[in-house]
Amino acid sequence: MTSPTSTTTLPRIGILGAGHVGPAIGRVAIEAGYPVSIAGSGDPAKIALITQILVPGAKADWPAQVAAEADIVILAIPLHKFNTFDPSLVAGKVVVDLMNYWAPIDGTQQLFEDPRYGSSEIVQRHLSGSRVVKSFNHAGYHEIEAERRPAGSPDRLALGVAGDDRKAVELVAALVENIGYDAVLLDSLHEGRILEPGGPVFGASLTKEQFAQVLTEKTAA
Amino acid sequence: MNDSPSLRTGFPLTFGLDTFGDVHSDENGTLNSHAQTIRNIVEQGVLADSVGIDFFGIGEHHTDDYPLSAGDLVLSAIAAQTRKIHLGSAVTVLSSDDPVRVFQRYSTLNALSSGRVEVILGRGSSIDSFPLFGYDLSDYEVLFEEKSELFAELLKGSPVTWTGTTRAALKDQDVVPHLEAESFPTWIGVGGSPQSVVRAARHGYNLILAIIGGSPARFQPFSNLYLEALEHFERPAQPIGVHSMGHVAATDEQAQEEFWPRYLAVMKHVSRTRGFAIPTPESFKHEIGPHGAIYVGSPETVARKIAANLRVLHASRFQLKFGMTGLAHTAVMNNIELYGTKVIPLVREILGSES
Ligand SMILES: NC(=O)c1ccc[n+]([C@@H]2O[C@H](COP(=O)([O-])OP(=O)(O)OC[C@H]3O[C@@H](n4cnc5c(N)ncnc54)[C@H](OP(=O)(O)O)[C@@H]3O)[C@@H](O)[C@H]2O)c1
């Protein structure tokens, strides 16, 4: 391990995807003290410059290496690439799914065209050896850095964290809190559907209280 | 860093106006027809020239509220009535077009306008052209990568040789009309994809940062990435631009009153198609404030904000997306006039006095 000793207590974040979203998450995770590795679809040389400038302090590596070393894998690839993603890469890992499915933007993806399930439930079914947690999907990547606030700030925003595995959810909730957001825990990936595009949380900047309000209204309706 | 942008990158400040061909309303509040919208854009381009604006750009769109699918034709009408202003796309959705045709159309316009063309290439955040022309959205990366590579070849002049998977290969092909002088300035518009920033540098394109929400300052790393990548590919320095939306009127209050209801209506529509929440008066206040991406207000307010963000982003070009859908034609013309006669001189003054 080459990470400084002060950070070795925090889990290693492995980001798969170096596009709009991956580096933005990597940057704030590093500033929160987490060791971070990042990969594009292949040779780390291709993302060396991006890593050096946009995620200073992160290690660029091959996807398999990033996944293998990570305690939390952040899956930040385009949804239309998911059907070619190899589940064995992340077997046994906690995987944060921040992908969104919205047909007008992504084109129709047959795999996700099942109204009974949320997109993260479908992701979990394919990554059967991983513990999938849905989070970070409903915030704009371009605001994730500017909207961070210390715990207790009146204008601190909330991010939903949904999953079927309590321990995994808590690990990701701690990441959310350490980055600078209140974590609102949802009991299952099925509940996590409220975080999807078209829902009341997506793209809305909500505090913990406003988030709770939305959840109550939803249950009452 | 407090360097003025022209000091940092060595490029003169230039200012543009961009339209997506938004449908506006007449004096009775009735929405204009597509045909009237197009004729009005010519009038706007001519006015922009007469008040000293450097660039007028038309963004390709294919929808009922943005009926500007053939912007280059509109630009040629503007070219015929103007002498100085540069004309171009903002953006050309290159992924769903043929680079050879794009080159032919804009080198023709360049001939007509005696060298006043600039092209801005985009991957296409406005995705309506993909189904229209039979392209699959899942292919947007390979389409844009290959086509931006071919376009860079075309700009070098004929004969052109190129092979790829997204169109027929070219072998020693003469593509006409030839350019008179060196190639016209070509930019890549980027909304936050670091791959696109690096691609712009790799092919030697200028960079336009399209900043449509959130804090403009957060784009600074992208400017740094671009400058760093140019060095990496051993290319000379090239200019960086910023594209953002806004509206200028005599006072802050008037500008906000005119803009907000139109913006809200457009965003309600966009929210439905994109699945995100509708803006609130509070989120709007934030966006038009110093840490937001929208430039709405009096000439002083807008000029101060432009100057601050050009400086932070090492940019020498600012392009205001003006004329939000549904605004009155008169308000739009007034905006163009104030931008040319008040905003631009003020920005020059603010940045000039620092250098
Ligand atoms: N836009 C937002 O604000 C926002 C917010 C939250 C969530 N999201 C979601 O975030 C996801 C990513 O979006 P994006 O805009 O960041 O995509 P993007 O800019 O297209 O970038 C995708 C990245 O994923 C990499 N990649 C593709 N396949 C891979 C694989 N099998 N293994 C590792 N890396 C791979 C690509 O690498 P190469 O370049 O090497 O192919 C590229 O670096 C989407 O599902 C989106 O819905 C977006």
Confidence of residue B81 (pLDDT cuts 50, 70, 90): very high
Burial class from Cβ neighbours inside 10 Å (0-12, 13-18, 19+) for residue A21 reads buried
Of A20, A23, A202, nearest to B275 by CB-CB distance is A202
Q: Which of B138, B195, B222 sits opposite A107 (nearest CB)?
A: B138
CATH number at B5-352: 3.20.20.30
**Considering just the CA atoms, what is the radius of gyration of chain B in Å?**
19
- Residue B298 half-sphere exposure toward CB, CA atoms < 13 A: 6
Q: Complex ipTM, two decimals?
A: 0.91
3-state secondary structure B236-267: CCCCEEEEEEEEECCCHHHHHHHHHHHHHHHH
Domains of chain A: 5-220 (3.40.50.720)
CB-CB contact of B305 with B313 (8 Å): no
Q: E strands, chain B, where?
A: 14-19, 55-58, 86-89, 92-93, 117-122, 160-162, 170-173, 186-190, 206-210, 240-248, 295-297, 317-321
Q: Please check the confidence at residue A105 and state whether its pLDDT lies above 90.
A: no
Q: B81 CB near a chain A CB, below 8 Å?
A: no
Q: Which of A18, A198, A201 sits opposite B194 (nearest CB)?
A: A18
**Alpha carbons A101 and B333: distance in angstroms, whole number:** 40
The closest residue, in CA terms, to atom 40 on ligand 1 is A41
d(CA B60, CA B74): 11
Query: What is the per-residue pLDDT for A5?
Result: 46
Mean pLDDT of the region B108-118: 98
Spatial separation of the C-alpha atoms in residues B22 and B59, rounded to whole Å: 10
| Chains A–B, number of C-beta pairs less than 8 Å apart | 80
Distance from CA of A47 to the nearest CA of B (A): 8
Q: What is the mean pLDDT of chain B?
A: 94
Domain boundaries of chain B, sorted by first residue: 5-352
| pLDDT band at residue B2 using 50, 70 and 90 as cut-offs | very low
Q: What is the DSSP string of B6-72?
A: HHHH----EEEEEE-----B-TTSPBPPHHHHHHHHHHHHHHHHHTT-SEEEE----BTTB--S-HH
Choosing from A65, A77, A106 the residue with most ligand 1 atoms within 8 A of its CB, the one to mutate for a pocket test is A77
Looking at residue B335, the DSSP 8-state letter turns out to be: H
Q: Is the pLDDT of residue B14 over 70?
A: yes
Query: Using one digit for the tens of pLDDT, what is the confidence trace for A24-57?
Result: 999 999 999 999 999 999 999 999 999 999 999 9
Cα A176-A182-A185 angle, rounded to 5 deg: 80
Contact criterion met (CB below 8 Å) for A12 and A41: no
pTM for the model stands at: 0.94
Q: Is A54 on the interface with B (CB under 8 A)?
A: yes
Q: Which tens digits make up the pLDDT trace of B154-211?
A: 999 999 999 999 999 999 999 999 999 889 999 999 999 999 999 999 999 999 999 9
- Measured CA to CA, the distance from residue B119 to residue B265 in angstroms comes to 30
pLDDT at B157: 94
